[in-house]
């Protein structure tokens, strides 16, 4: 089985060469698709979706597809461990490795997402603390293995996110549809974290803020619903809360047995 790997690439050829060299040493066969954003920059999310479409359209139904940053350097058995995790867990739609510190590979800088808004926060600490696979709310898009069946059921990444936010958004969307997100303790890679953090510019920072504004409107405030529903379809927050409470009461009554006990569904 050959695992496709989608790499959104921008300018730093030294990082890409190192990333590809680590892929060539993997214990399972991989196939890299490099989407070069250097002169035609569609940014992260659109570049990933371009790669996903490329593999979803193929006649040979690859079961998994990887997304990988150019500055993520995987240990030789990382892809194999991610595959094994997904093979063991049919509802695992997204799997990710531990991200190790570039100067101290015994320290985990990302072991699964915590807060996603307004800035990402991750589980981190000494590598010895990360000794078993864990389910996570979301995980960093620098390295993700995605189940093909999940992609076909929930769709591509949301391109309203141009640069950041699409990773956590996609994990939440997957989980909302019944899929799981796992961080695999035996799968590891060094994350250099170079392009976006060290070469930031005002336009890029503004784009990140726009991405987070969209995240907030979509997941936190209901503003996206209000905009799409139009004036006639909008509901005041207090009215919505009261209506939901009444619906929950109706549901409890409908699912209770004659003795008043709620019947498990």
Q: Does 229 map to a domain?
A: no
What percentage of the chain carries pLDDT values higher than 90?
81
**122: number of Cβ within 10 Å:** 19
Q: Does 242 map to a domain?
A: yes
Number of domains in the chain: 2
Residue-wise pLDDT tens digits, 91-122: 999 999 999 999 999 999 999 999 999 888 99
What residue has token string 């196939």? Answer: 31
Q: Does 197 map to a domain?
A: yes
Q: Does 19 map to a domain?
A: yes
Cβ-contact 151, 174 below 8 angstroms: no
| In a shared domain, residues 209 and 241 | no
Structure tokens at 132: 């078993």
Predicted pLDDT of residue 263: 60
Q: Which residue numbers in the chain have pLDDT < 50?
A: 195
Which residue, among 100, 89, 176, 101, has the nearest Cα to 135 in the 3D structure?
89
| In a shared domain, residues 196 and 121 | yes
* pLDDT mean across residues, the chain: 93
Q: Does 79 map to a domain?
A: yes
Range of the domain at 239: 235-265
| In a shared domain, residues 24 and 88 | yes
| In a shared domain, residues 165 and 260 | no
| In a shared domain, residues 208 and 245 | no
Predicted pLDDT of residue 234: 87
| In a shared domain, residues 209 and 248 | no
pTM passes above 0.85: yes
């Amino acid at each position: 089985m050959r695992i496709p790997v989608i790499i959104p690439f921008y300018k730093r050829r030294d990082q890409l060469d190192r990333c590809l060299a680590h892929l060539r040493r993997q214990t399972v066969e991989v196939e890299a698709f490099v989407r070069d954003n250097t002169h035609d920059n569609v940014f992260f999310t659109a570049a990933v979706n371009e790669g996903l479409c490329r593999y979803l359209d193929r006649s040979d139904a690859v079961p998994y597809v990887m997304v990988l940053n150019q500055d993520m350097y995987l240990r030789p058995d990382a892809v194999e461990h991610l595959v094994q995790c997904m093979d063991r867990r049919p509802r695992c739609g997204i799997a990710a490795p531990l991200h190790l510190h570039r100067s101290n590979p015994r320290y985990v800088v990302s072991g699964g997402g915590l807060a996603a808004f307004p800035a990402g926060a991750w589980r981190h600490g000494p590598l010895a603390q990360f000794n078993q696979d864990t389910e996570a709310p979301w995980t960093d898009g620098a390295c993700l293995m995605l189940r093909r069946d999940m992609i076909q059921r929930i769709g591509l990444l949301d391109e309203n996110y141009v640069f950041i936010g699409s990773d956590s958004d996609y994990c939440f969307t997957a989980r909302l549809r019944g899929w799981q997100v796992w961080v695999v303790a035996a799968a590891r890679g060094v994350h250099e974290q170079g392009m976006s953090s060290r070469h930031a510019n005002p336009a890029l920072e503004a784009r990140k803020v726009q991405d987070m504004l969209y995240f907030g409107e979509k997941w936190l405030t209901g503003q996206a619903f209000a905009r799409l529903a139009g004036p006639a379809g909008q509901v005041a927050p207090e009215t919505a809360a009261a209506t939901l409470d009444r619906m929950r009461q109706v549901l409890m009554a409908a699912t209770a047995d004659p003795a008043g006990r709620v019947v498990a569904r």
